[in-house]
């Protein structure tokens, strides 16, 4: 993994750890609960990805810098965010959108480096992007964002496809990552702002 991709991965870890810490604050968890929720949000998706593709031990076990980033983010959040309820309503969704965009391309990039196909890389990008958020929402007893009608997983899939296709057509790695990450982020932010969603699959039994 190149230095700049590693840096992006650490940034994504910090952003997702922040979203987990903010979610813990909204549910009034104690400091230990904040650490747990921030940690599973930050490394949950990547851990599932590494387990599936056989990259074991998983990344945060091999590199403790990820744990340091999570703990630093949690500490900063606990010190700086005194009143979670007073935060703007969009803070958590925007932080989650940033993490989704970053982790999608990082997950796809790691799968490609393992020699996997572009299709599997897109799936691994999706798992990396949404896995931690699913665990976070389940622990908070909420329906995971990925299962709601609002566009979420679609943004990750488009970002992953954009990254793999750009590389296949010979685009530079940095440019491909930037474009894919930006496209996923813009789609997700637009969905948040204008409540964009895919059509719901609604089966209603007609009354006799």
Q: What is the pLDDT of residues 106-154, one digit of tens each?
A: 999 999 999 999 999 999 999 999 999 999 999 999 989 888 767 999 9
Q: Two tokens at 157?
A: 């899939």
208 lies in a domain? no
Share of the chain above pLDDT 70, in %: 94
> Taking a C-beta distance cutoff of 8 angstroms, is the pair 110, 55 a contact?
yes
What is the C-alpha to C-alpha distance for residues 10 and 113, in angstroms, rounded to an integer?
Answer: 18
- Whether 86 is covered by a domain: the verdict is yes
Inside any domain, residue 143 = yes
Joined tokens for residue 166: 């750009």
Closest CA to 24 of 12, 10, 36: 36
Domain-embedded: residue 205: no
Contact 51, 110 (CB under 8 A): no
pLDDT at 92 (0 to 100): 81
- Please state, in angstroms and rounded to a whole number, the distance separating the CA atoms of residues 33 and 47: 20
CB 30 within 8 A of CB 88: no
Higher pLDDT, residue 56 or 88? 56
Neighbours of 62 (CB within 10 A): 12
For residue 1, give both structure tokens: 């993994």
153-207 pLDDT tens trace? 999 999 999 999 999 999 999 999 999 999 999 999 999 999 888 887 777 755 5
The partner residues of 197 in beta bridges, in order of sequence, read 150
Domain total for the chain?
1
Query: Is 207 inside a domain boundary?
Result: no
Six-digit token string for 176: 């491909």
Q: Can you tell me the distance from the alpha carbon of 32 to that of 43, in angstroms, rounded to the nearest whole number?
A: 17
Distance of alpha carbon 58 from the chain centroid? 17
pLDDT at 1 over 70: no
Specify if 202 maps to a domain.
no
pTM of the model: 0.92
Q: What six digits make up the tokens of 86? A: 């007073």
Residue 68 included in any domain? yes
Averaged pLDDT for residues 86-92: 76
Nearest residue to 62 (alpha-carbon basis) of 104, 9, 18? 9
- Asked if residue 204 is part of any domain, the answer here is no
Q: Which domain holds residue 35?
A: 3-194
């Amino acid at each position: 993994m190149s230095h700049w991709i590693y840096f992006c991965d650490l940034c994504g870890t910090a952003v997702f750890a922040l979203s987990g810490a903010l979610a813990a604050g909204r549910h009034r968890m104690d400091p230990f609960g904040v650490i747990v929720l921030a940690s599973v949000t930050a490394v949950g998706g990547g851990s599932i990805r590494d387990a599936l593709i056989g990259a074991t031990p998983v990344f945060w076990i091999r590199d403790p810098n990820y744990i340091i980033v999570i703990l630093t983010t949690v500490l900063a959040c606990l010190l700086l965010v005194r009143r979670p309820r007073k935060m703007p309503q969009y803070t958590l969704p925007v932080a989650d959108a940033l993490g989704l965009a970053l982790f999608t391309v990082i997950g796809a990039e790691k799968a490609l480096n393992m020699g996997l196909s572009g299709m599997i890389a897109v799936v691994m990008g999706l798992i990396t992007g949404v896995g931690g958020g699913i665990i976070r929402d389940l622990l908070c007893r909420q329906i995971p964002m990925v299962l709601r009608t609002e566009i979420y997983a679609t943004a990750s899939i488009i970002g992953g496809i954009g990254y793999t296709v750009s590389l296949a057509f010979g685009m530079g790695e940095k440019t491909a990552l930037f474009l894919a990450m930006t496209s996923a982020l813009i789609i997700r932010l637009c969905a948040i702002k204008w409540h964009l969603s895919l059509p719901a699959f609604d089966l209603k039994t007609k009354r006799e």
